[in-house]
Amino acid sequence: MNNILVTGAFGQIGSELVPALQKKFGVDHVVAIGHHTIPKDFQGIVEQAEIGEGDKLEAIIKKYSIDTVYHLVSLLSAKGEVDPSLTWQINMGGLKIILDLAVKYNLQVFWPSSIAAFGPTTPRVNTPQQTVLEPTTMYGVTKVAGELLVAYYHKKFGVDIRSVRYPGIISWKTPPGGGTTDYAVAIFYDGLQKGSYECFVRPDTTLPMMYMDDAVRGTMELMEADPSKLTIHTSYNLAAISFTAEELAKEINKQLKVDVTYKPDFHQAIADSWPQSIDDSVARKDWGWNHEYTLPKMTETMIIALKKKFSLA
């Protein structure tokens, strides 16, 4: 029986993963953990806890006989640079608490790593699964440390923990917040609401991206994959589409008039330290990962969804 706990349930990924899990396993089998960001219209089981509150989390795990945790709480790359100590505390402290609970209660765990685990010394094109991991952001440091920690808990304690290195995720449900790849979401929000967007990276900035539906489906598929087939216990490279900021602006402008200007700021150095494209052949071979959304399909889907959200349709 799957009784699932989702931390960071109301963040970018949680907001879409929770309904997908509820659909598959039933609303009564998914417990969403949040604090001040719980939407008023949320339907389902919700519990209030901070990620540092291990005792509270343990009580919730016992109360609902939890056997699976999607541990999504994280401060992202740009926000992480504002308060690096807090980023370490939330990202690493939270993960350690969840892993110790996983040992105690025999939990299956999903924990996301990111392309932020890579750095300027990593090969930037078709970045291999096994490569140099020397990130320059605190967020990236917590992703590398986290990858090593989850692999350690798998080897030492046999915890069934699975992970992917997400690229930039493009989605419409939650507004952009705290990430370097957020320009690829903000351009849709501002484009539809203001008709213009000032982009914080150069037009030629290329980063790996993925539409949310692919990310959610891939995450759930990895959690269901035959454990004997999984050869990576740090985190799987995961890829879908790569494009420049200018190519995205052009694609949007096929459907919508958006005046895009470019004013690179501190985000640029972070973007320049990350890969442009990812080799995810190991994920494709081990558990059959495949993406569905191309740049045009993603763009069309985003515009339709946001027009509805902003009552512009």
Contact positions vs ligand AKB (CB under 6 A): 76-77, 114-116, 139, 166, 168, 179-181
- At 236, give phi and psi (nearest 5°): -80, 135
Q: Which is nearer to ligand AKB, 19 or 146 (CB)?
A: 146
Q: How far is the CB of 143 from ligand AKB (least distance, A)?
A: 8
* 3-class secondary structure, 181: coil
Strand partners, 113: 165
Catalytic residue flag (residue 183): no
R_g of the chain, CA atoms, integer Å? 19
Distance CA 172, CA 68 (A): 27
Measured torsion, CA atoms of residues 15, 16, 19, 24, in degrees rounded to the nearest 10: -140
Q: How far is the CB of 178 from ligand AKB (least distance, A)?
A: 7
Beta bridge partners of 6: 32, 70
| Beta carbon nearer to ligand AKB, 180 or 242 | 180
Instruction: State the Cα angle at 219 between 215 and 224, rounded to 5°.
Output: 150
Instruction: Please tell me whether residue 168 adopts helix, strand or coil conformation.
Output: strand
Q: Return the number of the residue (168 or 191) whose C-beta is nearest ligand AKB.
A: 168
d(CA 77, CA 193): 26
Residue 77: CB minimum distance to ligand AKB, A: 3
165 residue type, one letter: R
Look up residue 141 and give its two tokens. Answer: 């440091």
Using the minimum distance from each CB to ligand AKB, give the nearer residue, 148 or 313. 148
Give yes or no for a contact between 32 and 93, defined as CB atoms under 8 angstroms apart: no
Q: How far is the CB of 203 from ligand AKB (least distance, A)?
A: 18
The CB-nearest residue to ligand AKB is 179
Q: Which of 139, 197, 211, 293 is catalytic?
A: 139
Q: Smallest distance, Å, CB 227 to ligand AKB?
A: 26
The rounded distance, in Å, linking the Cα atoms of 29 and 224 is 16
Q: How far is the CB of 133 from ligand AKB (least distance, A)?
A: 14
Cα–Cα distance for residue pair 154/82, rounded to 1 Å = 32
Catalytic residues: 139
